[in-house]
Amino acid sequence: MKFLIDRIAFRDALQKVEMAIGRKPTRPVLGGVLIEAKNDQVVLMATDLDISVRYTCHLVQVDSPGWTVLPGRELVEVIKDTESETITLCQENKNQCEIQAGEDHCTLVCLESGAGEASPEAFPTVPVLSGKPSASIDKDTFILMVGSTRFATSKVQDSKFATEGVLLEFEEGQARMVSTDGRRLACIRRKAEGMGEETLRAVLLPKVLDQVQSYGQGEEGSTIEIFLLGNLVGFRVGNLESFGRVLDREFPAYQKVIPDKGKHIVGAHRESFSRKLRLASHLTQESAASVRLELKSHSLEITAETEGRGRAEAQFEVDYSGEGIEASFNPGFILEGLKAAHQDKIEMQLDEASRPARFILGEDYDYVVMPLSNLK
């Protein structure tokens, strides 16, 4: 195998598959990048078995077709620190690959299979997307939806529900993304295109969506195509194809968690709310952060008190003229939601102190936070 490629194009392509390179691979090839050169193009593939990525580079001078698996982290760092306009990769034997970048020269040992010799065939199969997609959605809309939900996933795996993942639903021309860790829930709805009668429903790890969000943004084309492939979901945008394993546990019945419109409806400016929350949260315990929200006519008072540290009171003006109500919440949960809000003016809905608070953070964008009295 031998090919000549633009250095910047190769560097950018490697960055787009890097997220799928296994950090603690159970097999050597899972820490590598499969490189296949043929027909004036180079295809890069990487997988950690949860996420797989294929990226195609066009307009490449392929002198000798072939394929190999090179150690991913080392390849990424080597190419990142080269300065020449072009790079030549040449593999004359199955055990090593030569990289020529101007006056610089590196040799990388090809990754080995269990048999002890270089073996691209040992690399896990990465699907090829073909045919009509199951659904499609505007790229900027998809990126917005990922940023609006992925932060509310659970950091630990639940034995019953797939709360460490993000639920992706396409149904009747509408796309939904939902995430929850059992203490808060984020749900956003947007219009989708290209939907047939088939309903798409899958729970995916956040890093799958992160990869599409981070690197699909720079790809040509305004649409992300989505393919349902059994226990995998595939995404295609431009020259990038990403695949995520569908989590095999159920997602919680999120519709039951989102409250109806509350009795107490408050209009507040996001920045004022965030600033006062941050001020009060400085005097909370990190392991058991709690602030009390006291709603009065035209004002919201936020109080935090920790023995041995002190007390904070912060108050700001809000749009509200009803009766008073108090409730306690984790300030970090509210702050994360406010950070993801799509608009400066947000709405908070409260019913009772023991009931969840519902935040309207944008058009068809709900964020629900459980009060601390319900988390014992």
What domains can you pick out in the chain, each with its CATH number? 2-122 (3.10.150.10), 135-255 (3.10.150.10), 260-374 (3.10.150.10)
- Say what the pLDDT of residue 217 is: 79
Q: What would the two tokens of residue 267 be?
A: 């209009």
Which residue would you say has higher pLDDT here, 292 or 94? 292
Least confidently predicted of 177-181, 196-200, 230-234, 351-355: 196-200
What gap in Å lies between CA 362 and CA 32, rounded to an integer?
41
From the centroid of its chain, how far is CA 52? 14
Q: How confident is the model at residue 284 (pLDDT cuts 50, 70, 90)?
A: confident
Q: What is the mean pLDDT of residues 336-359?
A: 95
Does position 375 have pLDDT exceeding 70, yes or no? no
- pLDDT cut 70: percent of the chain above it: 95
pLDDT by residue (tens digit) across 40-50? 999 999 999 99
Q: What would the two tokens of residue 173 be?
A: 């021309």
pLDDT by residue (tens digit) across 225-267? 999 998 999 999 999 999 999 999 999 999 999 999 889 999 9
Q: What is the mean pLDDT of residues 165-174?
A: 92
- Say what the pLDDT of residue 196 is: 59
What gap in Å lies between CA 291 and CA 331, rounded to an integer?
6
pLDDT by residue (tens digit) across 288-333? 789 999 999 999 999 998 887 889 999 999 999 989 999 999 999 9
Q: What is the mean pLDDT of residues 123-136?
A: 90
Q: Residue 178: beta bridge partners?
A: 167, 187
Q: How confident is the model at residue 114 (pLDDT cuts 50, 70, 90)?
A: very low
Which residue would you say has higher pLDDT here, 193 or 374? 193
What gap in Å lies between CA 69 and CA 30, rounded to an integer?
10
pLDDT by residue (tens digit) across 187-234? 999 988 766 566 889 999 999 999 898 888 778 888 999 999 989 999
Q: Which amino acid is at 326?
A: E
Q: Which of 104, 51, 93 lies closest to 68 in space, CA to CA? A: 93
Q: How confident is the model at residue 112 (pLDDT cuts 50, 70, 90)?
A: low
Burial class (CB in 10 A: 0-12, 13-18, 19+), 336: middle
Alpha helices in the chain (DSSP H): 7-18, 72-80, 139-147, 206-216, 270-281, 331-340
Structure-token match 């050597």, residue found: 28
H or E element: which one contains 269? strand 264-269
CB 326 within 8 Å of CB 355: no
Q: Which amino acid is at 182?
A: G
- Say what the pLDDT of residue 198 is: 67
Q: What is the mean pLDDT of residues 82-106?
A: 93
- Provide the angle, in degrees to the nearest 10, between the axes of the packed helices 206-216 and 139-147: 140
CA angle 28, 107, 59 (to 5 degrees): 90
From the centroid of its chain, how far is CA 144? 11
φ and ψ at 33, to 5 degrees? -115, 125
Beginning with the edge strand found earlier in the chain, give each strand of the sheet holding 135-138 in spatial order.
66-71, 32-38, 41-47, 51-58, 240-245, 232-237, 223-229, 135-138
Residue-wise DSSP of 18-77: HTTS-SS-SSGGGGEEEEEEETTEEEEEEE-SSEEEEEEEES-EEEE-EEEEEEHHHHHH
167-183 exposure pattern, b = at least 16 Cβ within 10 A, e = fewer:
bbbbeeeebbbbbbbeb
Which residue would you say has higher pLDDT here, 375 or 349? 349
What gap in Å lies between CA 124 and CA 74, rounded to an integer?
20
